[in-house]
Amino acid sequence: MRSQLASTAKRLPAADGLPIITRLLSRNQDEEDPHIALLLWWAVEQHATAAMDEVVKTFTAPPAWQTPLIDHIILERLMRRYAAEGTAPASEACARLLMAAPTAGQRSRLLAALEQGLQEGPQEPAGAGTGSLFGTFAAAEKRQENQEKRTVCVSPGLCKALARLWTEDAVDPSLIRILTRLGDVPARGRALALATAPVTRPPLRESMLQVLSETGDSRCVEPLLNVLKGKNQEAFKLAALGMLQRFDADEIGEALLALYPQCSGQTRARIIDTLLGRKRWALAFLWRVESGQIAPTEVTVEQLRGVALYRDS
């Protein structure tokens, strides 16, 4: 019966459907039933944009935050949905949801949903290309040129809401990453401080380095190189190399060439990929191969195929 009511509420006008949905959600009987819980979310989503003001009023009211089914099933999905919408009204709806959260834990979960939604938002077309046929072998330098640019709509109201949550010692990774991507100077400074502090937990440190590299902040280059020099897990070193590919400074290529003999396994192979991903670095690496400093057998045919894209005879 509740399943049928949820399906019916989705098809009704918001004025008639939302009261049914909220009544079903307030019963808290179906949190463990993924079928009915998702039917209720789909019913909410159906009205989320067409009746945005009414939906936001319903789910920012104090009783909503105290209702487990709404708190655990609806609110984060609603935040993510509005963030991905990419419009000013939806961005304002995100601000209203965020500022209505009564506890730090609920705000933290909404910030994570907001970040995910913004990342899923509208994209500008990358333009015509060769498709994915040569994607595996394309040099990083070429891939970087063709990366799609995201257009993120963040309204003044949402900017103000995020600013109200900011503190100099902020530790919420989603808040720091969102503000860093928006160009907030204190957030970038905080991300750099966490990325370079030895006491920072490795997952948080990697997260901060990732967002700094995404935004092209060259201050993260030295910490990334230090990751490769230190006694870190190989997965962390591989992630650092992936981030370094976003930069083209000559000193990065020189540092990687110096580190190459000290590395092994996947890290060594990834250093080759990274060096061959930039024309100037590739020339320096291939010169070392030709001079006998690096064995030709350490370079695979697949890795060399990307070099051909430079069309440099």
So what's the pLDDT on residue 312? Answer: 66
Task: For the chain, give every domain's residue range.
Answer: 2-119, 166-247, 251-313
Going 38 to 41 to 42 to 43, the CA torsion angle's sign is positive
Structure tokens at 110: 């909404």
Residue of 231, 244, 307, 251 lying closest to 270 (CA atoms): 244
Letter for the amino acid at 238?
L
pLDDT in tens, 101-117: 999 999 999 999 999 99
Contacts of 141 (CB under 8 A, 6+ apart): 248, 277, 278, 279, 310
- Cβ(223)–Cβ(209) under 8 Å? yes
What's the predicted TM-score (pTM) here?
A: 0.78
Residue 297: pLDDT over 80 = yes
CA distances from 185 to 141, 180, 188, 267 (A): 28, 7, 5, 33
Work out the percent of the chain whose per-residue pLDDT is above 90. Answer: 44
- Token representation of residue 20: 């049914």
Share of the chain above pLDDT 70, in %: 86
Confidence of residue 6 (pLDDT cuts 50, 70, 90): confident
Question: What would the pLDDT profile of 226-260 be if each residue is shown by its tens digit?
Answer: 888 888 888 888 888 988 988 888 899 999 999 99
Lowest-pLDDT choice from 28-42, 57-71, 73-87, 275-289: 28-42
Residue 215 scores a pLDDT above 70: yes
- pLDDT at residue 313 greater than cutoff 60: no
Amino acid making up residue 244: L
* Start-end of H helices in the chain: 2-11, 14-26, 34-48, 52-60, 62-65, 68-69, 75-85, 88-100, 104-119, 140-145, 156-165, 173-181, 185-196, 202-214, 221-229, 234-244, 250-259, 265-276, 279-290, 301-305
Rounded Cα distance between 13 and 15, Å, is 5
The model's confidence at residue 132, banded by pLDDT at 50, 70 and 90, is very low
Across 79-84, average pLDDT: 95
pLDDT band of residue 304 (cuts 50, 70, 90) is confident
| Confidence class for position 307, pLDDT limits 50, 70, 90 | confident
Closest to 41 in 3D by CA, of 16, 80, 12, 74 = 74
pLDDT per residue over 150-160, tens digit each?
445 689 999 99
**Residue 137 pLDDT greater than 50, yes or no:** no
Residue 40: pLDDT band (50, 70, 90) is: confident
